[in-house]
Amino acid sequence: MRLTKTADQWWKTAVLYCASVQTFLDTNGDGRGDLEGMTSRIDYLADLGITCLWLMPFYPTADADDGYDITDFLTVDPRDGDLADFVSLVQVARSRGIRVIIDFVMNHTSDQHPWFKESRKSVDNPYRNYYVWRSSTPPDTSAAVVFPDVEDSLWELDERTGEYYLHNFYKTQPDLNVANPEVREQISKVMGLWLQLGVSGFRVDAVPFLFAVDDVPAKEREFQYDPHDTLRHLKAYCGRRDSDVILLGEVNVPYKDQKKFFGGADGDELTMQFDFIGMQAIWLALARGDARPLAKALAGRPALDESNQYANFLRNHDELTLDKLTDAERQEVFDAFGPDPDMQLYDRGLRRRLPPMLGGDPRRIRLAYSLMFSLPGTPCLFYGEEIGMGENLDIPGRYSVRTPMQWGPNATGGFSTAKPRSLVRPIPEGPYGPARINVSDQRSDPDSLWTFMSTLIRRYRQSPEIGWGAVQVLKHDQPSVLAHLVQQEDWAMVAVHNLGDEPVSVSLSFDGVLDRDLTGPAAPAPVDHLAGLLHGGRVELDGKGGFDVDLDGYGYRWLRVVREGDIRIA
Ligand code: NOJ
Ligand code: CA
């Protein structure tokens, strides 16, 4: 790549890794992971190729939503360590080339947060307007609740003052009134602290809920509020403190609405957003063995400003949400990957990890990750994905996928010296237990998923056009195959994935697609051949830009466009 543009947007080609301190490694034998444990595994993450660690909440919490119900934004949970441990972690990570971003929950606090304890005392308490209160009877909001198993309204009557407060999530998570300038000031202050302690950005929780201003009757709204102003303000503020900082938003909305959360023409709000739509399309495509839903999603993905990016993922710490599929499509995914009602959650998702969903089939598991890493954007792994950990369905709700990291083959998976029954969560038994799935065995095995994943990460890092480039889906006549071209300046790679179990041969062509948008005096050199990035080998082109690719069932190839005269170092 001539890379005439500055290459200082580190997050364009980062490899993200989400982990929770509590479930990563326990160093003091209390059965719960801690910051020291996380720090001692930074070398492990660096070896895997991770360049950015996303930490789930580690703040003091009332323990009602795995740390997403915060009682103090300004420090760490004493069970995890202290602020100095946090700074050590960031420092050690930096020294190994890993940046740290942290979960940031600005939509709500715990009801045990001192602000809320004050707020609920009286209607004229100075903290009253830190939260969203209404005196009139709320409308029926039962259809909008996020956790329908325990909540039936977004509003809760608080006896003491006889008014209702807004809570988009559990009733113990009252929504902050981000329209209140004082609250916004507090949010900036909190961000300022963590930036000073060395973080490189924030994973901003539950962004669309900050925008739900219409939930509050106009006459009771004290402040005029444009939520975009808040995001713009925070982005600018973070940028002033440290120009490298990213805001990575959790924004599960249709593509047509996603653009506005990135901001105006220069992308001045969220830096990155998770691609929830693409993720759901991948699962539908995998369930059908038909790549067309994904091809359609990719074609509908809004093109982004250079200062923005998508984060691609297959699984995260929540249920695999399928809420943007139609009922019939969702049922197809349920039938394929989670037929037992106990695997399903809130009628919209699956509380499972990827490998058991794919029947433990190594071909399909690798195909899925190859696909994810080849999609334009920045890949994001959830801890344990690199070794193919499974879920523990004995644990209720979403926590089934948040079991301790499996480092070794013993009963505690090398996570802790505590007794197995004293662990923060029970480790799965059976085929996904630590005896069969653990880091220690896989790291020294050239054929393991861990080794595959580290190769995938290295190839992704060697292919900056995936992070920087534009995507085009190539036409062909095999429904089970996705063939897509990513290109940036004169760098280009085509990835071909067969989602079906039968071998196929696809005929593809670059005619009218490759280099189409290249401008400038220096025309790129003609293509010499395509070089296999994952499995080696090469593919020759016919004189008109056409080429054939043969794939096994669930087969995949990444093919780098090699031009005449190129000297390849990767
Ligand atoms: C989204 C988080 O991913 C989820 O785990 C949490 O329960 C809600 N936001 C509320 O903070
Ligand atoms: Ca511990």
Ligand 2 centre from 102 Cα, in Å? 20
Please give the DSSP secondary-structure letter assigned to residue 474: P
Select from 4, 35, 30, 40 the least CA-distant residue to 20.
Answer: 35
Instruction: Take atom 5 of ligand 1 and give the residue whose Cα is closest.
Output: 318
Q: Is the pLDDT of residue 207 over 70?
A: yes
Ligand 2 centre from 379 Cα, in Å? 29
Name residue 348's amino acid: R
246-249/201-204 β-pairing: parallel
Ligand 1 centre from 206 Cα, in Å? 7
Residue pLDDT, tens place only, 260-283: 899 987 789 999 999 999 999 999
Q: Is the pLDDT of residue 396 over 90?
A: yes
What pLDDT was estimated at residue 6? Answer: 53
Residue 169 CA: nearest ligand 1 atom is 10
- The ligand with the least distance to the CA atom of 203 is 1
Select from 266, 289, 104, 133 the least CA-distant residue to 201.
Answer: 104
Confidence band for 516, pLDDT divided at 50, 70 and 90: confident
Ligand 2 centre from 418 Cα, in Å? 9
Residue 316 CA: nearest ligand 1 atom is 3
Q: Is the pLDDT of residue 5 over 60?
A: no
Ligand 1 pocket test: pick from 318, 399, 400 the residue with the most ligand atoms within 8 Å of its Cβ: 318
Instruction: Take atom 4 of ligand 1 and give the residue whose Cα is closest.
Output: 318
Report whether 406 contacts 437 (CB < 8 A): yes
State whether the Cα torsion 406-410-416-422 is positive or negative.
Answer: positive
Q: Is the pLDDT of residue 213 over 70?
A: no
What pLDDT was estimated at residue 218? Answer: 54
Q: Which residues surround ligand 2, an ion (CB under 5 A)?
A: 26, 28, 30, 32, 34
Report field, pTM of the whole predicted structure over 0.95: yes
Q: Is the pLDDT of residue 214 over 70?
A: no
What pLDDT was estimated at residue 520? Answer: 62
Instruction: Take atom 3 of ligand 1 and give the residue whose Cα is closest.
Output: 318
Q: Is the pLDDT of residue 3 over 60?
A: no
Residue 477 exposed, middle or buried by CB count within 10 Å (0-12, 13-18, 19+): exposed
Select from 304, 138, 322 the least CA-distant residue to 214.
Answer: 138
What pLDDT was estimated at residue 225? Answer: 74
Copy the structure tokens of residue 55.
């930490």
Percent composition of the chain: helix, strand, coil (DSSP 3-state, to 5): 30, 20, 50
- The ligand with the least distance to the CA atom of 210 is 1
What pLDDT was estimated at residue 376? Answer: 96
Ligand 1 pocket test: pick from 58, 65, 251, 273 the residue with the most ligand atoms within 8 Å of its Cβ: 65
Helices assigned H by DSSP within 145-291: 181-196, 207-210, 227-241, 255-262, 276-288
Residue pLDDT, tens place only, 352-382: 999 999 999 999 999 999 999 999 999 999 9
Ligand 1 pocket at CB < 6 A: 65, 68, 105, 169, 205-206, 250, 318
Neighbouring residues of 223: CB distance < 8 A, sequence distance ≥ 6: 129, 177, 179, 180, 181
**Strands lying side by side in the sheet with 163-166:** 133-134, 163-166, 155-158
DSSP letters spanning 292-320: HHHHHHHHHSPP--TT-EEEE-S--SS-E
Residue 107 CA: nearest ligand 1 atom is 11
Ligand 2 centre from 60 Cα, in Å? 15
Ligand 2 centre from 107 Cα, in Å? 29
Confidence band for 243, pLDDT divided at 50, 70 and 90: confident
Report whether 487 contacts 458 (CB < 8 A): no
Q: Catalytic residue positions?
A: 205, 250
Residue entry with tokens 């963590």: 194
For 6-57, what is the HEC assignment?
CCCCHHHHCCEEEECHHHCCCCCCCCCCCHHHHHHCHHHHHHHCCCEEEECC
Residue 170 CA: nearest ligand 1 atom is 10
What are the backbone angles phi and psi of residue 230, rounded to the nearest 5°? -65, -50
Range among 143-147, 273-277, 561-565 with highest mean pLDDT value: 273-277
Q: Is the pLDDT of residue 222 over 60?
A: yes
Copy the structure tokens of residue 504.
């196929």
What pLDDT was estimated at residue 212? Answer: 67
Select from 58, 78, 79, 83 the least CA-distant residue to 68.
Answer: 58
Q: Is the pLDDT of residue 232 over 90?
A: yes
CA-CA distance, 230 to 363, in Å (whole number)?
Answer: 45
Residue pLDDT, tens place only, 490-504: 899 999 999 999 999
What pLDDT was estimated at residue 215? Answer: 60
Ligand 2 centre from 343 Cα, in Å? 30
Judged by DSSP in three states, 281 sits in helix
Residue pLDDT, tens place only, 16-69: 999 999 999 999 999 999 999 999 999 999 999 999 999 999 999 999 999 999
Copy the structure tokens of residue 547.
């080429």
Residue pLDDT, tens place only, 535-556: 999 999 998 889 999 999 999 9
Instruction: Take atom 2 of ligand 1 and give the residue whose Cα is closest.
Output: 205
- Span 82-97, mean pLDDT? 98
What pLDDT was estimated at residue 15? Answer: 98
Q: Is the pLDDT of residue 7 over 70?
A: no
Neighbouring residues of 185: CB distance < 8 A, sequence distance ≥ 6: none
Q: Is the pLDDT of residue 123 over 90?
A: yes
Backbone φ/ψ region at 117: left (φ over 0), alpha (ψ -120 to 50), beta: alpha
What pLDDT was estimated at residue 246? Answer: 97
Ligand 2 centre from 442 Cα, in Å? 25
Residue 168 CA: nearest ligand 1 atom is 10
- The ligand with the least distance to the CA atom of 56 is 1
Q: Is the pLDDT of residue 530 over 90?
A: yes
What pLDDT was estimated at residue 179? Answer: 87
Over its C-alpha atoms, the chain yields an Rg (Å, rounded) of 24
CA-CA distance, 319 to 309, in Å (whole number)?
Answer: 23
For the chain, the average pLDDT equals: 94
CA-CA distance, 170 to 358, in Å (whole number)?
Answer: 32
Residue 398 CA: nearest ligand 1 atom is 5
- The ligand with the least distance to the CA atom of 204 is 1
Confidence band for 570, pLDDT divided at 50, 70 and 90: low
Q: Is the pLDDT of residue 13 over 90?
A: yes
Judged by DSSP in three states, 201 sits in strand
Ligand 1 pocket test: pick from 22, 59, 68, 147 the residue with the most ligand atoms within 8 Å of its Cβ: 68
Instruction: Take atom 6 of ligand 1 and give the residue whose Cα is closest.
Output: 68
Range among 6-10, 27-31, 150-154, 512-516 with highest mean pLDDT value: 27-31
Ligand 1 pocket test: pick from 169, 202, 207, 323 the residue with the most ligand atoms within 8 Å of its Cβ: 169
CA-CA distance, 61 to 112, in Å (whole number)?
Answer: 8
Neighbouring residues of 240: CB distance < 8 A, sequence distance ≥ 6: none
